[in-house]
Structure 1
Amino acid sequence: MLNVSAEIDKIKRSLMENGYKLTTQREIIVRVLLENERDHLSAEDVYMLVKEKFPEIGLATVYRTLELLAELQIVAKMNFGDGVARFDLRGHDHEHMHHHLICQHCGALDEIKEDWLTELEERVEREFGFKVLDHRLDFIGTYKECSNEECKRKKDKVVS
């Protein structure tokens, strides 16, 4: 279970270290991301959820905040091939971004929290003299038993 207050404190420290404040608007946006961490929200999704809590906020503020959080590597901005930028919190407990399974049939998205690429990173550094700072891996395919109904049930599953 995610400790929202502790995560907000970490994000606040990260913002301050980079010369930014955790404004009311930014905190509400961060809370929405934390409360929906498994949903890979688009900026528009975030805006609609934030607007319920803070009706005065503008879409431009949400976009600017998400871009800032991505620039500071607090969130990852990603695209799963549907042309929509989605935002995903980066886990402070993992060195790298988690990986994804993306079902082409129904769009279900599962997360793999375990980092399977450590040995490959070490080999890349050894053989090419290239130090990997981060990576992201998306597996795109279909589930063996895929049907729209079955995949929707899998949508929130986290693989570890």
Structure 2
Amino acid sequence: MSAILYLTAYRFNRRLKLETHDLRNAGLKVTLPRVKILQILEKQVNERHLTAEKVYKILLSEDEEIGLATVYRVLTQFEAAGLVTRHHFEGGNSIFELATGDHHDHILCMKCGKVDEFTDEFIEARQKEIAKKLGYELTDHGLYLYGFCPQCRKS
């Protein structure tokens, strides 16, 4: 076995062990659909916010025979287990992203659907001030901004 092939097999095996460990830690049984969907979510570095339909299309492109209903069910199970966060952006589609534990807000393009993440300490502090002023104990929050991305504004 060549060194490159061995290294590739080693990395794949290591990643698979981490994924099965993540599923077990979340209290979920390790099944092929769960592993495949988790792999897709972890691989999407440039596009972290995916609809169930997008996950399904990626599975189809990889010749995986996992139905759309199963994708929805697995993503809902992942949400309940804390592995993913579901966002309900305008437009009606649920968008899923891996739960990383770091808080961030979102800005969305109303034309192409592009989603960008951002953090702003001033906004965070102001939200806490408003909650305190109104007598609320803030437990969670999310901020979604809507507009048109630079690419869509050009066209």
Partner of residue 59, structure 1:
68
**Is 1:135 equivalent to 2:141 in the alignment?**
yes
Cα deviation for residue 79 of structure 1 reads 2.6
Residues 72 and 36 from structure 1, CA distance in 2 versus in 1: closer, same or farther, beyond 3 angstroms?
Answer: same
TM-score norm. by structure 1 comes to: 0.67
2:37 maps to amino acid: I
**Is 1:71 equivalent to 2:83 in the alignment?**
no
| Distance in 1 between residues matched to 2:115 and 2:136, nearest whole Å | 34
TM-score norm. by structure 2 comes to: 0.69
| Distance in 1 between residues matched to 2:115 and 2:63, nearest whole Å | 29
Residue 148 of structure 1: which of 131, 149, 152 is its match?
152
Residues 70 and 147 from structure 1, CA distance in 2 versus in 1: closer, same or farther, beyond 3 angstroms?
Answer: same
1:79 maps to amino acid: H
Aligned CA RMSD, in angstroms, stands at: 3.3
Partner of residue 30, structure 1:
38
Normalized per residue, which structure has more helix? Answer: 2
Q: Which stretches in structure 2 are left out of the alignment for 5+ residues?
A: 1-11
Which of these two proteins has the greater Rg computed from alpha carbons? Answer: 2
Runs of 4+, deviation exceeding 4 Å: 4-8, 11-14
In the TM superposition, 1:4-23 aligns within 5 A as 9=18, 12-13=20-21, 15-23=23-31
1:100 maps to amino acid: H
Residues 69 and 108 from structure 1, CA distance in 2 versus in 1: closer, same or farther, beyond 3 angstroms?
Answer: same
| Distance in 2 between residues matched to 1:137 and 1:7, nearest whole Å | 34
Contact kept? 1:8, 1:27, Cα under 8 Å: no
Cα deviation for residue 37 of structure 1 reads 4.4
Contact kept? 2:27, 2:81, Cα under 8 Å: no
Residues 71 and 38 from structure 1, CA distance in 2 versus in 1: closer, same or farther, beyond 3 angstroms?
Answer: farther
3-state SS in 1 of match to 2:73:
helix
What's the % identity of the aligned pairs? 29
Q: Which stretches in structure 1 are left out of the alignment for 5+ residues?
A: 152-160
